[in-house]
Amino acid sequence: MERSSAVGVALIGAGRMGLFHGETVSRRLPDARLVAVADPLGGGKELEPDRFYTDAAQVCDDPQVDAVVIAAPARLHTDLVVAAARAGKHVFCEKPMALSLADADRAIAAARDAGVVLQVGFQRRFAPDWAAARALLDAGQVGTPRLLRSLTRDPGGFDPARVPPDTIFFETLIHDFDVLRFLNPGATAVEVYASADALVEPGWRDRGLRDTAAVMVCFDNGAVGFAEACFATSYGHDVRAEVFGSAGAATVGDARRTAMTYSGPAGRTVATMHSDQELFGGAYVAELAAFTAAVRTGTPAPVTGEDARAALAIALAAAESASTGRPVRVTA
């Protein structure tokens, strides 16, 4: 690919998140072009790509595809990353990149051996307030991190029959585990203690559903992080984080739709956001802009496969801890 040309991107998986990424490539990134969509159910034709496929393997064989955006179900991610990398395609993969450390290593090795960019979708790093907090840390204004917190409260409306075991750790809290690492730069998680239950849908508890969880993560620099998640909240999509250090603290996240507060007979109210795409729309665009820039310039991805592996290691330990009721050491 000539560095001056637009990056030819193929979308694999045209579900809700995939469609948003496809729209970003085709309508929001001037240096990228959506050349293909692959979806076995026929989704994504409304994006009007140059070509439509039902098999992801066809994307790997397409010479016009420079890079792929993988937004298929999580269980397929590793094999898709490996296949795309071996075909010489740069890869952006939605989280989680893998569901086991062995698969994470397989994906990382495939990208390294092929010499392609591999970036993983931890979009919170690209949200302005999260990025600003990290800049304060890098400048030394927060000092040495001591206590950290990250939380995700989803807006609800999920079907418990469609939630695989430990989804709350691998697909929800994995964002928070990455945030704890992002706001404690250079530190490594060493031990995890987690508690989880079915509090939103208690009738599904015996079938393995965990829809509410709290996790304590101990790091090798002595800092302690706390992550929590719940699949349903009545007031919107609530995502926040905080880092408290030896020189100060930074708090990020605000679910308010605008800065306007309405005061009336019933009291004072604030309109809140009710979806991740509403709350993080700009961050989703920024992460793909960073990915295509890395492809065009040959620079490293800002969020790597190693970052994904580290967050996954915490998620695996948390799932085990919640099952056993005991602290679990994080596997390196």
pLDDT in tens, 293-302: 999 999 999 9
| CA distance to 148, 167, 199, per residue, from 180 (Å) | 6, 19, 25
Which regions of the chain are under pLDDT 70? 1-4
Task: Report pLDDT for 332.
Answer: 87
Handedness of CA 218, 221, 223, 229 (dihedral sign): negative
Whether the Cβ atoms of residue 224 and residue 148 lie closer than 8 Å to each other: yes
pLDDT score at 259: 86
DSSP string across 122-168: -GGGGSHHHHHHHHHHHTTSS-SEEEEEEEEE-B----GGG--TTHI
Note the Cα 318 to chain centre separation in Å. 17
- pLDDT value, residue 1: 46
pLDDT value for 4: 46
pLDDT for 5 equals 81
Cα 14 to Cα 37: distance, rounded to the nearest angstrom: 8
The residue among 12, 148, 129 whose CA lies nearest residue 67 is 12
Across the beta sheet with 238-245, the strand order is: 249-252, 238-245, 145-153, 224-230, 212-219, 189-197, 328-329
Cα(111)–Cα(81) distance, rounded to whole angstroms? 8
* C-beta separation of 145 from 183 below 8 A: yes
Phi, psi (deg, nearest 5) at residue 303: -130, 115
Q: What is the pLDDT of residue 3?
A: 43
Q: What is the pTM of this model?
A: 0.95
What is the identity of the amino acid at 129? D
Measured between its terminal Cα atoms, the distance across the chain in Å is 37
For residue 2, what pLDDT is reported? Answer: 43
Q: If we measure between CA atoms, which residue out of 287, 331, 281 comes closest to residue 310? A: 331
Residue 271 has what pLDDT?
92
Angle at 212 between CA 209 and CA 216, to 5 degrees: 120
Would you call 297 exposed, middle or buried from its count of C-beta atoms within 10 A (0-12, 13-18, 19+)?
exposed
